[in-house]
Amino acid sequence: MLASENFPAHHFKESIFKPYSTGGDDLAAATAAVATTSSSPDTVSVDFETARKMLTANGCSSNNNNNNNNATDTQPQDGLSGFVASHPAAQFEGFIRACVDEIIKLAVFQGTNRSSKVVEWHEPAELRQLFDFQLREKGESQEKLRELLRETVRFSVKTGHPYFINQLYSGVDPYALVGQWLTDALNPSVYTYEVAPLFTLMEEQVLAEMRRIVGFPNGGQGDGIFCPGGSIANGYAISCARYRYAPESKKNGLFNAKPLIIFTSEDAHYSVEKLAMFMGFGSEHVRKIATNEVGKMRLSDLEDQVKLCLDNNWQPLMVSATAGTTVLGAFDDLAGISELCKKYNMWMHVDAAWGGGALMSKKYRHLLNGIERADSVTWNPHKLLAASQQCSTFLTRHQQVLAQCHSTNATYLFQKDKFYDTSYDTGDKHIQCGRRADVFKFWFMWKAKGSQGLEAHVEKVFRMAEFFTAKVRERPGFELVLESPECTNISFWYVPPSLRQMERNRDFYDRLHKVAPKVKEAMIKNGSMMITYQPLRQLPNFFRLVLQNSCLEESDMVYFLNEIESLGQNL
């Protein structure tokens, strides 16, 4: 039986609470009720006669209500070619179920099976011929839409596939997937308690627990938000630091102010520089600190740069440290950086978007020693913890700074005379207005697995990374970029037999630089796996294996090496 068959037919005039009146009596009654109510200091005075005229002028009369009465009865029964209200009427249940079944079959299970391709590759011109991108005057049939659904899965990269090891996200967590589907069905926006009561409290709970795990004082005191990606979370850090040290900038901006300088590693995520440019600092006010041989920020260079700024009468604003750099997976010396921030009165931010998941493991959380001293932290559960995209958080030890920094008190949304505690209307501390309930998928998978399950997940992927590293060390033709990687990204070269006897000179490195792109091209066209590559400063292109999918086994690690060797041995 379809779910829609269990519900009685219902038209919008037939309220489940009381009959809907199309006359003017309801407005008159409301007018009288409000007129006799004493106003609080925060109550906005309303001229009801003016309101009545505005409603009439805008066509909100009883005749208009009557004309729209049977809108839901005129929906087409045999397709989607006519007008369709944005409402899940009963005749669409079969279509919805069929589409969900297709998604489960093709994307969730077939698309993540090791026997399937990671991607069916086509060049842009060819893909335009194969897929119907065109938008038309008339809508398509349900069968055509189901065909487009299947084709969308077919031509998309299967990022949940075990052999997608290309980015800092992968996998399809079943609990997070269900959580994401539910939030899409409910379609909430988390800015006021009245429209998202459960998700507001859920965010409060999850963020508090994450702050406790970070180690902020008094059991995780502070504040935080879910935000659209780690880049924006890093931007929040810059914004809060600016307000903390230059509160007048909220009103006056950066005009005629002392230059504020941001310090970050030369291997830090590019978002620090991008958000600084976006916020008006300018790229020249982002000082990139040299790293050592394993990718960690050099504290001596950091202090030298800070002193140089002071000598020029510039304000050292903040240090954005990194816990798990994008390429090498390096963890900066957070304890040492915190001492310098204290010495020179700078905000300390830790971009732990990638490496933050290690905090869940008693075995590996030492990699982030000192993070508890930070003013703020970026932590993305959609990365190392494998929640669905996107799931990013900004955490701070300072309880009021987000609200103080970003609030504008828009009275059409954040009224102070609501009937509930408006401190739960959290939206004014965000730079967004509408905001997805990204918390639910993470909360749901955390409830399902418990902290112990998340810890087991983290330790499994670290164990696979260590196994892979050992295999690279012992296998001819493979060379590590870092002998002992700290995180679960392992960087390495594959040296084809044709290059192994060459002298390590400029010609050798020029040839080696071309190997990874050629191997990557072959694996993409085969659909056999996806792994990224990149140069780093003076180093030629190397592969970067990224692990956060805990379904991977030792046999998969061997497969990756075998496939790269098979594709590159004749280069």
Q: CB–CB of 224/396 below 8 Å? A: yes
Same domain membership, residue 406 and residue 308 = yes
pLDDT at 47 (0 to 100): 52
Q: Is residue 310 part of a domain?
A: yes
Q: Where are the alpha helices (DSSP H) in 215-333?
A: 217-220, 230-245, 249-252, 271-278, 299-311
Q: Is residue 390 part of a domain?
A: yes
β-strand partners of 492 = 480, 543
Average predicted confidence (pLDDT) for the chain: 86
Same domain membership, residue 395 and residue 269 = yes
User: Cα dihedral sign for 268, 171, 487, 293?
Assistant: negative
Encode pLDDT of 207-237 as tens digits.
Answer: 999 999 999 999 999 999 999 998 899 999 9
pLDDT at 495 (0 to 100): 96
b/e 323-360 (16+ beta carbons within 10 angstroms → b) = bbbbbbbbbbbbebbbbbbeebebbbbbbbbbbbbbbb
Q: Work out the average pLDDT over 7-20.
A: 49
Encoded amino acid at 179, one letter: G
Here the tokens at position 418 are 């609501």
Which residues, in sequence order, are CB contacts of 477 under 8 Å at separation 6+? 494, 495, 496, 497, 500, 565, 569
Same domain membership, residue 368 and residue 318 = yes
Encoded amino acid at 1, one letter: M
Listed residues 156, 171, 197: the one ending a domain: 156
Residue 12 has pLDDT above 50, yes or no: no
Encode pLDDT of 140-177 as tens digits.
Answer: 999 999 999 999 999 999 999 999 999 888 989 999 99
Q: Work out the average pLDDT over 383-401.
A: 93
pLDDT at 189 (0 to 100): 78
Q: Is residue 65 part of a domain?
A: no
For the chain, the farthest-separated pair of C-alpha atoms sits apart, in whole angstroms, at: 95
pLDDT at 44 (0 to 100): 44
Same domain membership, residue 145 and residue 243 = no
Higher-confidence residue of 480 and 195: namely: 480
Same domain membership, residue 240 and residue 132 = no
**DSSP label at residue 103:** I
Same domain membership, residue 151 and residue 210 = no
Q: Is residue 177 part of a domain?
A: no
pLDDT at 7 (0 to 100): 56
Angle CA(306)–CA(308)–CA(312) in degrees, nearest 5? 115
Rounded Cα distance, 431 and 406, in Å:
7
**Confidence band of 250 (pLDDT split at 50, 70, 90):** confident
Q: ω before 390 within 30° of 0 (cis)?
A: yes
Encode pLDDT of 512-569 as tens digits.
Answer: 999 999 999 999 999 999 999 999 999 999 999 999 999 999 999 999 999 999 999 9
Same domain membership, residue 98 and residue 230 = no
Listed residues 377, 412, 439: the one ending a domain: 439
Rounded Cα distance, 268 and 231, in Å:
11
Here the tokens at position 412 are 């059409």
Q: CB–CB of 179/198 below 8 Å? A: no
Same domain membership, residue 195 and residue 151 = no
HSE-CB of 386 using CA atoms within 13 angstroms: 29
Q: Is residue 209 part of a domain?
A: yes
Encode pLDDT of 417-455 as tens digits.
Answer: 777 777 777 777 888 878 888 999 999 999 999 999 999
Listed residues 408, 439, 470: the one ending a domain: 439
Residue 484 has pLDDT above 70, yes or no: yes
b/e 259-278 (16+ beta carbons within 10 angstroms → b) = ebbbbbbbbbbebbbebbee
Same domain membership, residue 372 and residue 281 = yes
pLDDT at 436 (0 to 100): 87
Which residues, in sequence order, are CB contacts of 8 under 8 Å at separation 6+? none
CATH number at residue 365: 3.40.640.10
Task: Give the containing element (helix H, strand E) for 471.
Answer: helix 439-474
Encoded amino acid at 435, one letter: R
Same domain membership, residue 405 and residue 339 = yes
Encode pLDDT of 399-417 as tens digits.
Answer: 999 988 887 776 766 677 7
What is the tally of structural domains in the chain?
A: 2
Same domain membership, residue 205 and residue 145 = no
Encode pLDDT of 44-62 as tens digits.
Answer: 444 555 544 544 544 444 4
Q: CB–CB of 428/410 below 8 Å? A: yes
Residue 16 has pLDDT above 50, yes or no: no
**DSSP label at residue 163:** T
Same domain membership, residue 264 and residue 209 = yes
Q: Is residue 62 part of a domain?
A: no
Q: Is residue 346 part of a domain?
A: yes
Residue 114 has pLDDT above 70, yes or no: yes
Q: Is residue 409 part of a domain?
A: yes
Q: Give the range of the structural domain holding residue 97, as residue numbers without chain letter.
A: 90-156
Which residues, in sequence order, are CB contacts of 441 under 8 Å at separation 6+? 175, 176, 177, 178, 179, 180, 183, 387, 388, 391
Nearest to 304 by CA among 350, 336, 257, 263: 263
β-strand partners of 263 = 287, 319
